[in-house]
Chains A and B, each alone.
Chain A
Amino acid sequence: MKGLELTRKQAVLTVVGLLLAFAVPDLARLTASVQLSVVHQGLAFGLAAVGLNLLLRHTKLVSFGHAAFFGTGAYATALLASKLDVAMMSVLLLAAVLAAGLMAAVIGYLSLRHTGLYFSLLTLAFGQLLYALVQGQSYLGSSDGLPVRPGEANQPLIFGLALDADAYAVLLYYLTVVFAVVSLLVMYRLVKSPFGAALDAIGQDRTRAEFIGIPVQRYVWLAFVISGLYGGLAGAIYAMVQQHVRPGPVLYFLQSGDILYMAILGGFQTLLGPLVGGVVLVFLQDAGKDFTNYFDALTGIVLLVIVFGFPQGIVGSLERGGNVRQRAREFAEDPSVVGSWAAGAASALRSAFGDWVNSVRSMLGVR
């Protein structure tokens, strides 16, 4: 494809990644630890994170309300399928994407007047307003939500086909992988385009961008709408996988947080990172549920590790080598370095604890 130059290593990795992605349904049959629906859900959330990353990486805007577009896509799908009896998947997808784009146009118009934390708070509040409104609508099933095509005809038709549950899941999964690849390619073209360069300029310095003639407000708004479209597509896929949409899992603000953390976990300075982050985080949450009652804390600890140990995220750290590879090299050269690492960690902990004791003392007035 024009403009998409890959080194040999990258090309090999891409092929391996694609093969792996397409092999998931078979892997899921072989081993119980990989569940198709979990990976599928992860891909859907990851797609939303890819959209969010357009804002995060290039315009440096931290949106905290992207569940609003995910939820709009999911609810548009469920609403059309269950209330208006639309069975064609293509129509459902298109409607979901359009609805989310519209929602993003409105919320973006209202929140983009601000930058920084104010923007984050506004997107969060609008997302939460949407959650509250949906929660209060009995037409939308309140907190019980809506089924996607209730009763016998449970699943949307793919290419006009009515399939049994297994075939439906696998075919939908393959389609999702295709959607994800196409979406990534589109995003790649977008960020390499003059528009993408303008967004980078806005992210670096708004005032200067304005000065050199970039219509900052319009471009940022456009980027917001595009990221909303990604969220809508992701939400529609989620709805078709789960076949039931509730406000909690698609609109609640913790979900917005998850989408943001997927981007950072995977590496928000990379194109692919958010998608990887989505699959990993959803997988982690699911695996955590089997493993311990305290799976939230597990996710929390992973996030802390990301912040302090791997700020580049998974994909970013792999690309740049980063801390890990450096340390791995040191370790290979001289295994005894572990001792000095441990000593370093211990002394850091000791000094932090000392600080803590001192602060408490000074606050209590004890000298």
Chain B
Amino acid sequence: MVALQNFITHTLHGVQYGFILFLIASGLTIILGILDVLNLAHGELFALGAYVSFSVLGYLTGLVGSPTDPASQAIFLVLVLAGAVIAALVLVPVGVLLESTLFRPIYERDEVYQLVLTFGLLLIIKDFNKLVWGPSPRRIQGVYSGINSIPVAKFVGLTYPTYNVVVIAVGAVVVVGLFWFFDRTKTGRIIRATAIDREMATAIGVNTERTFTLVFALGAFFAGFAGAMALPQSFASLEMGANPLVLSFVVIVIGGLGSLQGAFVAALLVGLLSKWATWQVPALELAAPFAIMALVLLVKPEGLFGTWGETE
């Protein structure tokens, strides 16, 4: 029975980790799949999201104080989620500014210049975070434990942190929302059409420049949102951008470049397998995602959903 409970706990950890990975990788995938630019600064946008949400959440939760009864706990949770959305929205104009001034002139250039540009941005945003929030890590005391004092998993006889359940739920909503957006809405279809054939899209009257700006803003939004969602469990620091960036590379390579479905499946796969592997062999923690990637690529070199040039 204990073994089963352990297994369920680690599986949930894996799913939660997978959803965080997907949240991070989704923005990168969208920008890569549609603009064909690998945004190395994505991890720093993630960190910026975490810092902004540190400030926003710090202010908002200050309004409630610490939650004591179920009612204030519920308000607290809603505020935390609203804070994450606000933090992500702050990233939208940042993304628009970056796209319209820096990225637009370089779409036609060698990809190596795109890499240099985004790497330069990575360094600049990192130091911007340092300038605004200082060199030492920032943490919101009590938010995580405040939410976890809401006993959700207790109903099924399991001790599991409530915030992790919230992350899983929010992640699921985002997944459904993104697929719905790109599959069913007009804007989503226009974006996909622009990605597949830019000239044709222009010919039928799509403002492709605005579409690209929108896509980049969307990518920045999800980077910020992922940072905000990851904040309560740990802290915002200057180094926090690098790991998620590299891990989301792993995810999009496994999933197949630019495929959103691929990124989703790969994120869950990496999340689950690496949490299971770490549970059995703790020494594997750092290397597990890369080992999984190497294995997948040996079997299926183009990635799980390797659809070249296709974008969804």
Q: List the interface of chain A (C-beta within 8 A of B).
A: 56, 62, 64, 110, 113-114, 116-118, 120-122, 124-126, 128-129, 132-133, 135-136, 252-254, 257, 260-261, 264, 268, 293-294, 296-297, 299-304, 306-308, 311, 352, 355-356, 359-360, 362-363
Contacts and interface: CB of A to CB of B under 8 A. Distances in A.
A300 B127 contact: yes
B294 A303 contact: no
A306 B124 CA distance: 15
A68 to B, nearest CB: 12
A307 B249 contact: no
Contact of A113 (B102, B106, B283, B301): B301
A359 B220 CA distance: 15
Contact of A132 (B101, B117, B253, B286): B286
B112 A132 contact: no
Nearest to B126: A296
Given A125-B253, A129-B291, A363-B217, A356 B96 contact: yes
13 contacts: A110-B298, A117-B32, A117-B38, A120-B115, A128-B290, A257-B115, A264-B113, A293-B130, A299-B123, A311-B109, A356-B101, A359-B100, A359-B217
B111 A308 contact: no
Contacts of B130: 293-294
Interface residues of B, number: 53
A352 B101 contact: yes
Contacts of B135: 293
Nearest to A130: B290
Given A125-B253, A132-B290, A301-B120, A257 B40 contact: yes
A308 B105 contact: yes
Most buried by B among A125, A133, A352: A125
Contacts of B38: 117, 120-121
Given A136-B287, A253-B246, A300-B122, A264 B116 contact: yes
Given A132-B287, A136-B283, A296 B123 contact: yes
A121 B253 contact: yes
Chain A interface helix/strand/loop/mixed: helix
Interface of B: 32, 38, 40, 92-93, 96-97, 100-102, 105-106, 109, 111-113, 115-117, 119-124, 126-128, 130-131, 135, 210, 213-214, 217, 242, 246, 249-250, 252-253, 257, 283, 285-287, 290-291, 293-294, 297-298, 301
Contacts of A355: 100
Given A136-B286, A261-B116, A308-B105, A359 B96 contact: yes
A113 B297 CA distance: 10
Given A264-B113, A293-B130, A307-B113, 5 more contacts: A133-B287, A300-B119, A300-B124, A352-B101, A360-B92
Given A62-B112, A64-B115, A297 B123 contact: yes
A126 B294 contact: yes
B127 A303 contact: no
A62 B115 contact: yes
Contact of B111 (A62, A129, A136): A62
Contacts of B112: 56, 62, 260, 264, 268
A265 B124 CA distance: 17
A133 B290 CA distance: 10
Nearest to B102: A304
A304 B117 contact: yes
